[in-house]
Amino acid sequence: MRSRGMIAAMIAALLAGCASGGGKPAPSSRGAVRPATAPRSSIVVVPEVMGVAGLGGVIGSRADALTGRFGQPRIDLAEGDARKLQFAGRSCVLDIYLYPVAAAAEPTATHVEARLRQGGAPADPGACIREVERR
């Protein structure tokens, strides 16, 4: 269950995206979509950062480090200053949420969720990270 701080950060990121005037819509394709570079906001709602235990160094990582480690994400979405990268293993899906933790800072991973590919039940994030990394 998400904490109130994480929900507030997500709402703030969505509102910031609406206020930015938007951009060109992402092309629809089956492959991963590279987000347009979003302007950095000077107003930041500092997200609640998930604890790092068992997450194999993912929390605090930048997008370039994550793609270097896990390969091309199957989904790469940007909304305002927030970003979501999704990677898939053989049996699980890993969603990594990146938010800036200071004004004009590059987003870093602050939250991770994992679920089974079949049925979508929650999965152990640490195990899913190891599975996606081996892929």
In this prediction, what percent of the chain has a pLDDT beyond 70? 60
**Confidence class of residue 34 from pLDDT cuts 50, 70 and 90?**
low
**Reduced to 3 states, what is the DSSP secondary structure of residue 101?**
coil
How many domains, the chain? 1
For residue 121, being part of any structural domain is answered with yes
pLDDT per residue over 96-127, tens digit each? 999 998 888 899 999 999 999 999 999 999 99
pTM of the complete model: 0.64
Q: b or e along 88-113 (b: 16 or more beta carbons within 10 Å of the residue's beta carbon)?
A: bbeebbbbbbbbbeeeeeebbbbbbb
For residue 26, being part of any structural domain is answered with no
For residue 103, being part of any structural domain is answered with yes
- Overall average pLDDT of the 3-32 stretch: 51
Residue 70's pLDDT is 96
Chain centre to alpha carbon of residue 25: 19
For residue 95, being part of any structural domain is answered with yes
pLDDT per residue over 60-102, tens digit each? 999 999 999 999 999 999 998 899 999 999 999 999 999 998 8
- Long-range contact pairs involving 44-47 (C-beta distance under 8 Å, separation at least 24): 44/81, 44/100, 44/101, 44/102, 44/103, 44/105, 45/8, 45/9, 45/12, 45/13, 46/9, 46/101, 46/102, 47/5, 47/6, 47/9, 47/99, 47/101, 47/110, 47/111
The pair of three-digit structure tokens given for residue 106, joined into one six-digit string: 């590059």
